[in-house]
Amino acid sequence: LGDKAAVERSKMIDRNLREDGEKEAKEVKLLLLGAGESGKSTIVKQMKIIHEDSYSEDECKQYKVVVYSNTIQSIIAIIRAMGRLKIDFGEAARADDARQLLVLAGSAEEGVMTPELAGVIKRLWRDGGVQACFSRSREYQLNDSASYYLNDLDRISQSNYIPTQQDVLWTRVKTTGIVETHFTFKDLYFKMFDVGDTSIILFLNKKDLFEEKIKRSPITICYPEYTGSNTYKEAAAYIQCQFEDLNRRKDTKEIYTHFTCATDTKNVQFLFDAVTDVIIKNNLKECVLY
The DSSP-derived string for 75-91 is: HHHHHHHHHHTT---SS
According to the model, what pLDDT value does residue 153 have? 95
Alpha-carbon distance of 79 to 134, in angstroms, equals: 9
**Under 8 Å between Cβ of 217 and 161:** no
In the chain (290 residues long), the average pLDDT of successive 10-residue segments reads 73 78 74 73 81 85 92 95 95 93 81 90 96 94 93 94 93 74 77 75 88 90 92 93 86 81 82 78 61
Q: Where are the domains positioned within the chain? A: 57-170, 193-281
Handedness of CA 211, 215, 219, 225 (dihedral sign): positive
- The answer for 34, left when phi > 0, alpha when psi is -120 to 50, beta otherwise, is left
**Amino acid type, 263:** T
Alpha-carbon distance of 43 to 143, in angstroms, equals: 17
Beta-carbon count within 10 A of 255 CB? 15
Rounded alpha-carbon distances, angstroms, from residue 234 to 96, 109, 201, 240: 61, 52, 21, 10
Tell me the CATH class for 57-170: mainly alpha
Rounded alpha-carbon distances, angstroms, from residue 245 to 17, 238, 253: 46, 10, 12
According to the model, what pLDDT value does residue 285 have? 66
CA-based radius of gyration for the chain: 28
Alpha-carbon distance of 48 to 189, in angstroms, equals: 13
According to the model, what pLDDT value does residue 266 have? 83
According to the model, what pLDDT value does residue 150 have? 96
According to the model, what pLDDT value does residue 279 have? 73
What global pTM score does this model have? 0.65
Dmax over CA atoms of the chain, in Å, equals 96
b/e 53-65 (16+ beta carbons within 10 angstroms → b): eebeeeebeebbb
Alpha-carbon distance of 176 to 279, in angstroms, equals: 14
Beta-carbon count within 10 A of 200 CB? 12
Tell me the CATH class for 193-281: alpha beta
Kind and range of the H or E element at 259?
A: strand 255-259
